[in-house]
């Protein structure tokens, strides 16, 4: 009887260990999936998506110095409620302007930077504004997206959908190595947990709803 219980206990422990291993593996896969990284080559243009400035501009500076792009695109970001202060005369520097200035200070020539107006409030809006710009610049056939690590998967999905058309534009992504996102052990860190939950909600919303609202008229 004792031998039976010992064997039964060992089996149960083994099952628990296996379940914990599989659960941890699933958690890691969930974090790693959000980070889309691929071999890079020199792109015709790069775009820094608005959001956190520090990690994205640092990444852009490194990539520029390494020769991965010569033309940088920024899309004007919607400042939201803060714009009410500007209307009443407050002198505020927008996130887009901070991003541009930081890029210049880190060695990217101002002459290489194009800021597109549009007051974008989402990645999808940034992609739509970029599409209008690219339609008038047929010389750009590859676009390097620079953004925070956890944002790369969704950003690539959106840009590929928005830029789908007769003229093929290759989409590359570069997750910032300066991002605080911990893909391997995201569940241990509060900020990374928030990133994972936020990104998966946004991905589901895009796949189930938003992608069907995008006009995929061809780029000329």
Render pLDDT for 100-143 as a digit per residue (tens, 0 to 9): 999 999 999 999 999 999 889 899 999 999 999 999 999 999 99
**Band of the pLDDT at 8, cuts 50, 70, 90?**
low
Interatomic CA distance for residues 157 and 188, integer angstroms:
27
Going by pLDDT thresholds of 50, 70 and 90, the confidence category of residue 219 is: low
What confidence score (pLDDT) does residue 22 get? 55
C-alpha distances (whole Å) from 146 to each of 19, 51, 52 are 37, 11, 11
The pLDDT value given to residue 23: 53
Mean pLDDT of 48-66: 96
Sign of the CA dihedral 195, 114, 128, 117? positive
**What confidence score (pLDDT) does residue 74 get?**
97
Please state, rounded to an integer, the average pLDDT across all residues of the chain: 88
Mean pLDDT in residue range 163-170: 85
Q: What is the pLDDT at residue 26? A: 65
| CA neighbours closer than 13 Å in the CB half-sphere of residue 18 | 6
Backbone region of residue 57 per phi and psi (left: phi > 0; alpha: psi in -120 to 50; beta: other values): alpha
Structural domain boundaries in the chain = 35-213
| Unique residue bearing structure tokens 């290489």 | 112
pLDDT tier, 191 (very low <50, low <70, confident <90, very high otherwise): very high
Which of 114, 115, 103, 123 shows the shortest CA–CA distance to 58? 103
Average pLDDT rounded to a whole number, residues 56-65: 98
Choose the most confident range, by mean pLDDT, from 1-5, 164-168, 204-208. 204-208
- Which tops the pLDDT comparison, 84 or 184? 184
Give the CATH H-level superfamily of domain 35-213. Answer: HUPs (3.40.50.620)
Does 81 have pLDDT greater than 90? Answer: no
Tell me the whole-structure pTM to 2 decimals: 0.85
- pLDDT score recorded for residue 16: 64
Helices (H), the chain: 2-34, 54-65, 83-87, 95-105, 123-135, 152-162, 190-208
Q: Largest alpha-carbon pair distance within the chain?
A: 84
């Amino acid at each position: 009887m004792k031998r039976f219980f010992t064997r039964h206990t060992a089996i149960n422990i083994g099952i628990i260990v296996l379940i914990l291993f599989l659960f941890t593996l699933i958690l890691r896969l969930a974090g790693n999936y959000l980070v889309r990284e691929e071999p890079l080559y020199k792109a015709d243009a790069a775009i820094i998506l608005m959001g956190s400035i520090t990690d994205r501009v640092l990444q852009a500076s490194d990539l520029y110095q390494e020769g991965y792009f010569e033309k940088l695109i920024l899309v004007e970001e919607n400042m939201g409620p803060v714009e009410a202060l500007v209307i009443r005369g407050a002198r505020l520097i927008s996130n887009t302007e901070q991003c541009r200035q930081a890029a210049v200070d880190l060695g990217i020539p101002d002459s290489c930077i194009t800021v597109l107006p549009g007051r974008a409030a989402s990645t999808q809006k940034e992609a739509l504004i970029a599409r209008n710009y690219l339609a008038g610049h047929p010389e750009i056939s590859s676009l390097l997206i620079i953004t925070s690590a956890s944002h790369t998967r969704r950003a690539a999905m959106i840009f590929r959908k928005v830029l789908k058309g007769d003229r093929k534009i290759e989409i590359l992504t570069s997750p910032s190595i300066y991002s605080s996102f911990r893909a391997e052990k995201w569940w241990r860190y509060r900020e990374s947990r928030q990133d994972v939950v936020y990104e998966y909600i946004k991905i589901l919303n895009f796949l189930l709803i938003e992608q069907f609202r995008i006009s995929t008229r061809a780029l000329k």
